[in-house]
Structure formats: C-alpha cells, structure tokens
Amino acid sequence: MRWDNLSETPTGDSVLFGTDAVVTRTFDTPEFRGITFHEVRARSILNQVPGASRMPFEWTVNPYRGCTHACVYCFARRTHSYLDLDTGLGFDSQIVVKTNAPELLRKQLASPRWQGAHIAMGTNVDCYQRAEGRYRLMPGILAALRDHANPFSILTKGTLILRDLDLLLQAAQVTDVGISVSVGFTEHELWRTVEPGTPAPERRLAVVRTLTDHGIGCGVLMAPVIPFLGDHPDELRATVRAIAASGATSVTPLVLHLRPGAREWFMAWLNRHHPHLVRRYERLYAEGAYAPKWYQRRITRQVHELADEFGIGPARRGASRRVTPPSDEPRRQPSEPGPTQLTLL
Ligand code: SF4
C-alpha cells in the first residue's frame, strides 16, 4: 500500500502520511467484524478542492477514507485505488482513520494564513459512518470549528450525527452551519441491497426531524435517484412525501452517476440482483458517468413538482447561513425558507 502517497481526489482530499505512521487494528465486535482500520497521523487535514472541480465549495475536511456504509454506487470508491486498496469490498472494509484530525484542524484553523473559508465535510466519504462511533473524531473537529467560528457544512447518511447535537447547536450560535442528510429513496428492498451498511431511510429522516425540532434547519439531498429501480413516479412521490413530512428545509434530487471505480462495482451488483436491467444501463450510461441530460431534467422536474405539492422547496446550490440557535421560541413555519446546504454525494 502506498501510505506515503499524496492523493488528489475529485473533492481535493489530500492525504500525506508516512509508512511509520500506520497502525492497523481490527475489533472483534459484531459491529466491526471483518473491518480493518488503518490508523494514520495525517500531515494536513484541510484540503483545497482543485480549481477545475465543479464542487460548490473550496475546502474540505475528511477524517476517514473508505466507508462502512458500503453503498454500491459510491463515487468515492476510486479514491481507495490511490492507496493501492481495493475499490470494491476493500473500500467497504479497509478504513483509513486520520486519528490526529481534530488537533491538526485546530492548529490549521489558528494559522494566520487561514482566512476562515467555509469547510465542507462528508463530501468524499461519510464522516458519521460507523467507525466514528469508536474513534470519535467529529466532536473534536466540531469543537475546533466552533471555537474559531468557522462556517461549515456536513452531508451524511449517519444517524450518529445526533450524538453531536449539542456541539452543532453551539457552533450554530457563532457561525454558519449547513446540514444535509442524503435519502435517495425509501423502498426497503432496494435500500438493503444497494446501501447495506447505512441506517434505514426513515431513520435518516428522523435525524432531519430531530435537527429541525432543535432549530437546526436540515435539507435532504435526494440522491441517488436510481434509474429503473428508484425512479418510478410512485417511488418518487413516496420519497418526497416522506422528506417533506420530516420537516426538511429543501430537497435536491441527483440522479445516479457512475464514475470509474463505482461503475464496475455497481454493474456487477446489477448483474447479480437485476440482470434484466444490465442492457438498459449500458444504453443509459453509454456516454460516460452521467445519465443523459433529458433523463436528469425529467427527474428534476418530477421532484420539483412533488416538492411544490408537498410544500417543500428546492435547495439553493452551495449556500449556507447561520442556523437558528436553540431557544424556546416558536419554530420556523414550513413556508419560511430554511438554511440550505451543499449538494453533493
Ligand atoms: S455513505 Fe456516502 S461515502 Fe459512505 S459509502 Fe455511501 S455514498 Fe459512499
């Protein structure tokens, strides 16, 4: 494994650490059986997104590489190859943990060169994946951001984020905080097979409800909408209805994309579970990683129409703002705009 590698990912995740800094661990608990953790001491934790990137943010923090949520379609799979790790099962079970992420971030935020730019988290892999339950890196990261009043956003599928509710509320009193939860569909059979390590969609939406009840507006990234499996009008309707019922401030649809690394793994899964769809996928994704524009527009229009019907608005891309601090005051009415969030998975 190339542990001394400096890797650039689509989100600009730079990792630089030496061979001597790696400690490998396994834990014999049901939750972590079959998973290997590679603990490293990173040399840098603030990553600048390459200028050519289409991402609506410039800086990211990623305390983990690999993700036990194991979504078959995960676009970050390819980043594991930069470390000579397998992008299939290896991505799901070989997790790199930057154990010094909190102290390093605090140090970098204190640097006179740091200008206090917005920092996006959960943009490469999920910072509230199961490993976070053991390593507890996010509390230190959030505390550093709070203490420096540095604006940030988090995108997650992890219910573990509620463990840090108090820190999020404290941060929201001094800076802009944007939270998004990702729920692409609500159908359980699809969820169990394509996102096998994630909390169920309704548990994720319960996170949205809890955050909203505490005055932290939370948007939903409806991603991915999976062609021919999660795009039936009834499924779109059920999902947008559930998202609206959760109190989400916005819904942003995003159709499945299949970049190298994810594409091979997803197509192998499709061949096992839905072989009759393989040819249709080959046609739909014949031009590359993205479904055709007409298909994307159709899904976006359908979701926006449903969002109107259920009284929830689409997100403004890339924006965030100060969230409502905890208080006993009446909560925001559904018609009022809420904080928005980044839009990536
Ligand atoms: S939760 Fe996000 S980062 Fe983790 S496997 Fe799923 S898509 Fe990838």
Position 266 in a domain: no
Residue 329: the pLDDT is 31
Residue 219: the pLDDT is 97
Residue 275: the pLDDT is 98
CATH number of 194's domain: 3.20.20.70
Are residues 174 and 77 both part of a single domain? no
Measured in angstroms, how far is the CA atom of residue 72 from the centroid of ligand 1?
Answer: 9
157 lines ligand 1 (CB under 6 A): yes
Are residues 131 and 194 both part of a single domain? no
Residue 17: the pLDDT is 52
Position 126 in a domain: yes
Position 16 in a domain: yes
* Interatomic CA distance for residues 61 and 157, integer angstroms: 17
Residue 298: the pLDDT is 98
Measured in angstroms, how far is the CA atom of residue 225 from the centroid of ligand 1?
Answer: 14
Interior angle at CA 98, CA 95 and CA 101, nearest 5: 145
Are residues 89 and 157 both part of a single domain? no
Are residues 217 and 328 both part of a single domain? yes
Position 226 in a domain: yes
Please give the single-letter amino acid code of residue 12. G
Residue 50: the pLDDT is 81
- Residues 1-39: tens digit of each pLDDT: 555 443 434 444 444 455 446 899 888 888 898 999 999
96 lines ligand 1 (CB under 6 A): no
Strands (E), the chain: 23-26, 36-40, 46-48, 59-61, 64-65, 94-98, 119-121, 152-156, 177-182, 218-225, 251-255
Position 55 in a domain: yes
For the chain, residues with pLDDT lower than 70 are 1-21, 52-54, 314-345
User: Which three-class secondary structure state does DSSP give residue 279?
Assistant: helix
Number of Cβ within a 10 Å radius of residue 315: 24
Atom 3 of ligand 1: nearest residue by CA position: 125
Measured in angstroms, how far is the CA atom of residue 292 from the centroid of ligand 1?
Answer: 23
Position 267 in a domain: no
Atom 6 of ligand 1: nearest residue by CA position: 71
Are residues 156 and 23 both part of a single domain? no
Mutate to test the pocket of ligand 1, among 72, 125, 154 (most ligand atoms within 8 A of CB): 125
Owning domain of residue 243: 151-256+291-345
Mutate to test the pocket of ligand 1, among 68, 74, 198, 269 (most ligand atoms within 8 A of CB): 74
Are residues 187 and 327 both part of a single domain? yes
Position 112 in a domain: no
Are residues 127 and 171 both part of a single domain? no
Are residues 157 and 132 both part of a single domain? no
Q: Give this prediction's pTM.
A: 0.87
Count of structural domains, the chain: 2
Position 88 in a domain: yes
Residue 56: the pLDDT is 76
Are residues 86 and 224 both part of a single domain? no
Are residues 129 and 169 both part of a single domain? no
Are residues 192 and 125 both part of a single domain? no
Are residues 188 and 248 both part of a single domain? yes
